Structure 1
């Protein structure tokens, strides 16, 4: 009588093992799948091609003599040469130049291409502090918003696929601080604590609401943009991008940031008391 019971027990265990094995294979097959469906992938490619086509159309309307002068600056010396080349063109064709400038800036911000700081310096050199500041803040906000939605479309599914547990942890931390998010985002934008490209990319992934992201970007970029645009007016005296943020400038930016985030700390202190 004992043998049948053992046989049935072994059979039950084997059936459970098979079921567990099938579940493991199913989980593995799901984890191996590419996180983007074809529509998300096609939308991301579509955004890239639309931006690229717009840039090509704008540049084709420029005089042929200007083609050889177009180059994204990587050093201050490159920027000085570009400024000298485009100063006359910007004066004679302001609307066309601004359209090309804005398209290039937003394209670089959307696809996280480094070098927008040189574009900000160029705005100050060509348009002055006030108009240059308006231009830079507009383009930086528009480009950051475009990057936000692109990251939400393709970045978030990829991160959820690669690091689901870490993503849930950070989303939970953000949810706990939802009433203070604007202060924290303003602090990050005003101070050079994190690169702006990283903030643009990470915000939709960890569930930062767009209205908070947009407002913090629009307001928080003003101090640093003012410093950069103003430095562009004295481009001849600037030796390196590192000269933009000396110790005094960093102290001022962090002081502004701490003033912004101070109400959150005071509120938390009152809660614990």
Structure 2
């Protein structure tokens, strides 16, 4: 039985409320905190969590699990503020582990949003965002015709997010994006941004506002380097895909030409065999006629000889009659 529009809304609201209540209960295992909304909030939370996590091994485990669940929840429901959590991850776990962790959590949260949209949100998005969905379908079709693979299309969208992540997560299952390229492109595409934020977390004491992140020379250099490498990878992929398409087209044309040649050869052979068969049939008819002519000639010769013999006998009889 298919759910109607209103029951889907009720289920979504119920999921959000239940998950929010679960987060509140889970957060009770940590010291009092608040979701960071500014750099100052990140600094306060980082100081509290660093002291709690380094005190005992159990404290580190609790901090890790609560941070992971909160991050995936925000990503699943498209709650703003992931940048502050990325910075917090860099402050707690360092830039490298923080980047890998936040990229993995971003991917898992996006997959949860993907399946939530797949099972519940199709009628809702078709009603309120049908034009955006059609635009994504046309964009994917145009990129495919230009020779760009689906994975590279998704990776490009993640690296240069002109469309919000939350809408891409919800729209992808409805425009036919398989879950595997969706996951891999999400994991790789969000890494540069997460790394920049995690780097900022490692130097949190020097950061006072979000714009200060991009005023750090080393971070700015890495941003430019990532953008250049990403653009080069996209260009190389498009050219490689285009060459592959051209090779496939040439092979297809060659196969068609060979098929036409084979068909022409077979037609020529069939025509030759038919001519040979007609020639053999005509030759057999001619031989049969020749045998019949020979047989008729033999009969005529025998008939003539018999007639001549009868005349000779008659002449002998006449001469004998004359003699007497």
TM-score (norm: length of structure 1)? 0.74
Q: 1:266 to 1:259 in 2, by over 3 A?
A: same
- Cα 1:112–1:166 shift into 2, 3 Å: closer
**Equivalent residue, structure 2, for 1:209:** 178
Distance 1:166 1:85 in 2: 43
Comparing both chains, which one has the higher relative contact order based on Cα–Cα distances under 8 Å and sequence gaps of 6 or more? 1
Two-structure CA RMSD over aligned residues (Å): 2.8
More deviation in 183-192 or 46-55? Answer: 46-55
What is residue 76 of structure 1 aligned with on the other side? 39
Matched, 1:89 2:33: no
> Once the two structures are superposed, what CA deviation does each residue of 1:33-71 show, in whole Å capped at 9, x if it has no partner?
x96252x33542343244224312312334xxx22xx11
Larger displacement relative to structure 2 (152-161 or 105-114):
152-161
Residues 254, 134 of structure 1: alpha-carbon distance in 2 compared, 3 angstrom cutoff: closer
SS of the aligned residue for 1:208 comes to coil
User: What SS does the aligned partner of 1:204 have?
Assistant: helix
Larger Rg, first or second structure (1 or 2): 2
Aligned partner of 1:30 in structure 2 is none
Quote how far apart the aligned CAs of 1:233 are: 0.7
In structure 2, relative to structure 1, the CA distance for the partners of 1:202 and 1:253 (3 Å cut) is farther
- Evaluate the alpha carbon distance shift between residue 192 and residue 150 of structure 1 in structure 2; reply closer, same or farther with a 3 A threshold: same
Distance 2:203 2:135 in 1: 46
Residue 28 (structure 1) aligns with:
none
The within-5 A match list for 1:231-242 is: 231-242=200-211
Aligned-residue offset at 1:111 = 1.2
TM-score (norm 2): 0.63
Structure 2's unaligned 5+ residue stretches are: 248-324
1:105 aligns with 2:74: no
Residue 26 (structure 2) aligned to one of 49, 54, 58: 58
* Deviation of the 1:175 alpha carbon: 4.6
Other-structure match for 1:229: 198
Say whether the 8 Å CA contact 2:133–2:171 is kept in structure 1. no
C-alpha distance in 1 between matches for 2:150 and 2:88: 33
1:127 aligns with 2:93: yes
Which of the numbers 234, 244, 252 marks the counterpart of 2:225? 252
Matches of 2:22 and 2:82 in 1, distance apart? Answer: 19
Q: How much does 1:215 deviate? A: 0.7
User: What residue number does 2:265 align with?
Assistant: none
Match of 1:161 among 127, 141, 147: 127
- Partners in 1 of 2:96 and 2:136 — Cα distance? 39
Structure 1, unaligned runs of 5 or more: 1-33
Instruction: Give distance in 2, aligned partners of 1:253 and 1:198.
Output: 24
> How many residues get paired?
234
Find the partner of 2:81 among 115, 122, 143: 115
* Alpha-carbon spacing, 1:191–1:257, altered in 2? closer, same or farther (3 Å): farther
Residue of structure 1 equivalent to 2:104: 138
For residue 88 of structure 1, report the CA deviation from its aligned partner.
1.1
Query: Match of 1:243?
Result: 212
Question: Contact 1:191 / 1:257 at 8 angstroms: preserved in 2?
Answer: no
Quick check: 1:44 aligned with 2:17? no
Deviates more, 1:193-202 or 1:160-169: 160-169
Shift of 1:235: 0.2
Post-superposition offset of 1:216: 0.3
Contact 1:123 1:136 in 2 (8 A): yes
- CA offsets 1:147-169 (integer angstroms, 9 cap, x no match): 22223344432232245566445
